């Protein structure tokens, strides 16, 4: 008979202490079919990774979260609390013990194949697109009719490539029957992106008869692949109080000199009507180094709303403000981006080039994407401002 000493209360175990953390902060990605290459759903799956988990958590590489949390609170914050972090480290240091399965919480329920709840509607590219192993692929556009007979309010939206390794980004826009503006942004995918999930009472409008336009940017990965991206939509169960609309601040007229280690580029969106700022997503390419957003109010005061001190092209989530920020008419959302075009940037495709705006990863972009909230039937008048 084998006697094991009763573990001291301080020694964390997988089932009692670690499973709740994995469910809250890791399993959205670390389960079958999602972005991470290994699952952390069970002890058997997780145990072989214990040392790697310690390393990734100790160096803050995992969970991926790049915003400075002292600026404000974000509702989709993935980062570990100091207590969760020390529990994980102590668990690995204790030899990653399993503990008693009876002490495990009920497993978290996920939707198979999605990070949103089970979609009410799924729209798929009309055909699979073959991405060659090498070379540059122009942007591809696909139009998919919704056949909606009435207006639909969407409270969750998720764009899912079938071949993530070749999708640089996907943007799904809504074109109403008038063809107005070529489309209102609905949802997007970029590496490390999270689905769009609004709070109850907030939704995006898809008007009756609208079409969905998929803008697909494929990049060759060295292996040929075929992709058939989908978008899944969850409809609001009740009429929303507020409408989420996308707004952008763009600067497309910059030139980053060769070798510049910290080249600054600015852009702003001018707010023309009272609205609320709900979410922010910085977008730059491989030379992107840092990104900040400040809200400037008409009375001259200002408030920082996002700081991403170490931007990473491979992680481009929306940062959802825990409490949406009221912006009176006359406010501005000011974005500052820094680019590293020096040879010290290991991702830099070429430090000897002057770099301008362009669609491909070796060119650059500077966009602050916002989601703003408006009364349900107001059109958006605010716009990007030089």
> Which spans of this chain sit near ligand HEC (rule: CB under 6 A)?
25-26, 28-30, 35-37, 49, 52-53, 56-57, 61-64, 78, 80
Q: How far is the CB of 164 from ligand HEC (least distance, A)?
A: 9
DSSP state string for 319-383: EEEEEEEEE-TT-EEEEEEEE--STT-TT-S-TTS-B-B-SSTTSB--EEEEEEEEETTPPP--E
- List, in order, residues 6 or more apart from 97 with CB less than 8 Å away: 7, 11, 12, 13, 14, 91
Cβ proximity to ligand HEC, 62 vs 277, nearer residue: 62
Could you tell me which of 130, 157, 125, 161 has the C-alpha nearest to residue 141?
Answer: 125
Q: How far is the CB of 53 from ligand HEC (least distance, A)?
A: 4
Cβ proximity to ligand HEC, 194 vs 213, nearer residue: 194
Q: How far is the CB of 49 from ligand HEC (least distance, A)?
A: 5
Sign of CA dihedral 102, 14, 82, 307: negative
Cβ proximity to ligand HEC, 26 vs 269, nearer residue: 26
Distance, in Å, from the CA atom of 211 to the CA atom of 246, rounded to the nearest integer, reads 17
- Let me know: does 306 contact 280? Beta carbons within 8 Å: yes
Cβ proximity to ligand HEC, 49 vs 235, nearer residue: 49
Q: Examine residue 63 and say whether the peptide bond preceding it is cis (omega within 30 degrees of 0).
A: yes
Q: How far is the CB of 107 from ligand HEC (least distance, A)?
A: 16
Cβ proximity to ligand HEC, 239 vs 346, nearer residue: 346
Q: How far is the CB of 58 from ligand HEC (least distance, A)?
A: 10
Q: How far is the CB of 179 from ligand HEC (least distance, A)?
A: 36
Cβ proximity to ligand HEC, 24 vs 220, nearer residue: 24
What single DSSP character describes residue 27? T
């Amino acid at each position: 008979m084998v006697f094991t000493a009763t573990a001291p209360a301080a020694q964390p175990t997988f089932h009692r202490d670690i499973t709740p953390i994995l469910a809250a902060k890791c399993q959205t990605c670390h389960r079958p079919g999602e972005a991470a290459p290994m699952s952390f759903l069970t002890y058997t799956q997780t145990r072989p990774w214990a040392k790697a988990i310690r390393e990734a958590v100790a160096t803050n590489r995992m969970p991926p979260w790049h915003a400075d949390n002292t600026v404000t609170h974000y509702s989709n914050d993935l980062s570990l609390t100091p207590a969760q972090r020390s529990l994980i480290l102590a668990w690995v240091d204790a030899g990653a013990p399993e503990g008693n399965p009876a002490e495990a919480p009920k497993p978290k329920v996920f939707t198979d194949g999605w990070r949103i709840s089970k979609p009410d509607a799924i729209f798929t590219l009309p055909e699979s697109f073959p991405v060659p192993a090498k070379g540059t692929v122009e942007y591809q556009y696909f139009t998919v009719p919704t056949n909606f007979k009435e207006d639909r309010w969407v409270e969750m939206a998720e764009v899912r490539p079938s071949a993530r390794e070749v999708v640089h980004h996907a943007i799904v826009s809504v074109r109403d029957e008038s063809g107005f503006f070529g489309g209102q942004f609905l949802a997007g995918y970029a590496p490390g992106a999270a689905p769009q999930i609004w709070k109850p009472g907030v939704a995006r409008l898809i008007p009756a008869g609208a079409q969905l336009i998929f803008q697909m940017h494929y990049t060759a990965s060295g292996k040929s692949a075929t992709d058939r991206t989908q978008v899944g939509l969850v409809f609001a169960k009740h009429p929303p109080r507020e409408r989420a609309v996308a707004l952008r601040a763009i600067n497309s007229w910059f030139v980053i000199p060769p070798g510049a280690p910290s080249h600054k580029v600015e852009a702003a969106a001018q707010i023309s009507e009272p609205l609320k700022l709900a979410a922010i997503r910085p977008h730059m390419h491989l030379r992107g180094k840092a990104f900040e957003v400040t809200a400037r109010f008409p009375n001259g005061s200002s408030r920082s709303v996002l700081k991403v001190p170490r931007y990473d092209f491979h992680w481009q989530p929306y940062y959802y403000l825990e409490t949406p920020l009221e912006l009176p008419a006359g406010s501005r959302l000011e974005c500052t981006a820094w680019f590293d075009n020096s040879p010290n940037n290991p991702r830099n495709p070429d430090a000897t080039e002057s770099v301008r705006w362009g669609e491909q990863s070796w060119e650059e972009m500077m966009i602050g994407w916002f989601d703003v909230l408006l009364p349900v039937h107001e059109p958006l008048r605010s716009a990007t401002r030089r």
